[in-house]
Amino acid sequence: QQPVQSPQAVILREGEDAVINCSSSKALYSVHWYRQKHGEAPVFLMILLKGGEQKGHEKISASFNEKKQQSSLYLTASQLSYSGTYFCGTESSLYQAGTALIFGKGTTLSVSS
């Protein structure tokens, strides 16, 4: 039930764009996105909810296709600060409904000058 992220790694130069995908085998109500820099804790980026509601704090956009059970994270005009590993998290039937997430293995993004 672990969501599948692609690609596993992306290498960019400053100013280039990237798309990170997250796919699930089950119907989803929400998708979370987090970024983790090396040696640090994961940091919340945004939540996408069924019906199109989006909660986020940074200048990074995302989409949520409920029918395809997929979400994509769009990083445009990348900056050095975008480097890190990006994780998506989705609900899992392993846990009581709505209580906990299961995370993908992550996508590592490296941005160079």
Nearest to another protein of 51, 67 (CB atom): 51
Residue 47 sits in the site that holds another protein (CB under 8 A): yes
Give the contacts of 1 (CB within 8 A, at least 6 positions apart): 24, 25, 26, 92, 93, 94, 102
Residue 84 sits in the site that holds another protein (CB under 8 A): no
CA nearest to 63, candidates 78, 73, 53? 73
Of the candidates 11, 27, 43, 77, which one interacts with another protein according to CB under 8 A?
43
Task: Pick the stretch among 11-19, 66-74, 75-83, 91-99 that binds another protein (CB under 8 A).
Answer: 91-99
CA nearest to 30, candidates 85, 84, 97? 97
Distance CA 31, CA 22 (A): 9
Residue 103 sits in the site that holds another protein (CB under 8 A): yes
Binding stretches for another protein (CB under 8 A)? 2, 29-30, 32, 34, 40-44, 47, 49, 55, 87, 89, 91, 94-96, 98-106
